[in-house]
Amino acid sequence: ELKVEQNPLFLSMQEGKNYTIYCNYSTTSDRLYWYRQDPGKSLESLFVLLSNGAVKQEGRLMASLDTKARLSTLHITAAVHDLSATYFCAVDRYSGGGADGLTFGKGTHLIIQP
Amino acid sequence: DTAVSQTPKYLVTQMGNDKSIKCEQNLGHDTMYWYKQDSKKFLKIMFSYNNKELIINETVPNRFSPKSPDKAHLNLHINSLELGDSAVYFCASSPDRNTYEQYFGPGTRLTVT
């Protein structure tokens, strides 16, 4: 069974600090996704990582993928309060005909305090 | 225009009732999905449809019956609702089974009392 593990599951940090969220997965997948969810809202796609060594950056967030280690990281630089949210990583589920939906990690609930 | 829409946004009902949630996408996508997010925010796929054909039924009780009348719609009917069905249900779509981009609907918060 495909497993996706995130850590930490809960993170409280101060503005201006740096931190990294880790995502490990159990399948041989070349693709990994990061989503953001605000309370009561839907999922917003942040990054799509499509190959080993992929690195993407958007503002204070940077995501990377190491398919050999089956590990992705989401790094937060100089955190600001607006980044407070729950962050999910996800990988494709594969069956005979193709990718059929996503398996998500349990999410990292991030609180950034002034 | 909303890409993936769901109705209703909120649904409060009593145990034992039957209810439906509707999903529509106007993106011309072939593949649609239902996900369940429980009270701990765990997200799990329930169903996957491709061109109106069921691809995945992920160990969901048979009280849940998806129906896809056409490629743009994937509805979820739930019979004999139970307390444990309380959750947020998200519909999503993607261009096809091999395209990575998934677009999520706004979610339907189902509360069973």
DSSP A44-99: EEEEEE-STT-EEEETTEEEEEETTTTEEEEEE-S--GGG-EEEEEEEEEEETTEE
Higher model confidence: residue A32 or residue A96?
Answer: A32
Task: Decide: B89 and B34 in contact? Cβ < 8 Å.
Answer: yes
DSSP state of B6: E
pLDDT > 80? residue B2: no
Residue keyed to tokens 């999905």: B33
pLDDT, residue A97, reads: 62
Question: In 3-state terms, what secondary structure has residue B83?
Answer: helix
CB spacing of B100 vs A104 below 8 angstroms: no
Q: What angle do CA A86, A89, A93 make, to 5 degrees?
A: 140
pLDDT, residue A26, reads: 92
Nearest chain A alpha carbon to B50: A100
First to last CA, chain B: 34
pLDDT > 90? residue B98: no
CB spacing of B90 vs A93 below 8 angstroms: no
> Mind listing the pLDDT tens digit for each residue in B8-56?
999 999 999 999 999 999 999 999 999 999 999 999 999 989 888 888 7
> Mind listing the pLDDT tens digit for each residue in A33-49?
999 999 999 999 999 99
Q: What secondary structure does DSSP assign to A37-58, as a single string? A: E-TT--EEEEEEE-STT-EEEE
| Residue from B87, B80, B78, B104 nearest B25 by CA | B104
pLDDT, residue B1, reads: 63
> Mind listing the pLDDT tens digit for each residue in A58-95?
999 999 999 999 999 999 999 999 999 999 999 988 76
A45–B contact, CB cutoff 8 A: yes
The whole-chain average pLDDT of chain B stands at: 92
Question: In 3-state terms, what secondary structure has residue B85?
Answer: helix
Chosen from B32, B39, B45, B94 to mutate, greatest number of chain A CBs within 10 A: B45
> Mind listing the pLDDT tens digit for each residue in B80-95?
999 999 999 999 999 8
* Strand pairing category for B19-25 and B4-7: antiparallel
Q: Considering CB atoms only, which of A37, A99, A104 is closest to B98? A: A99
Calpha distance A89→A32 (Å, rounded) = 7
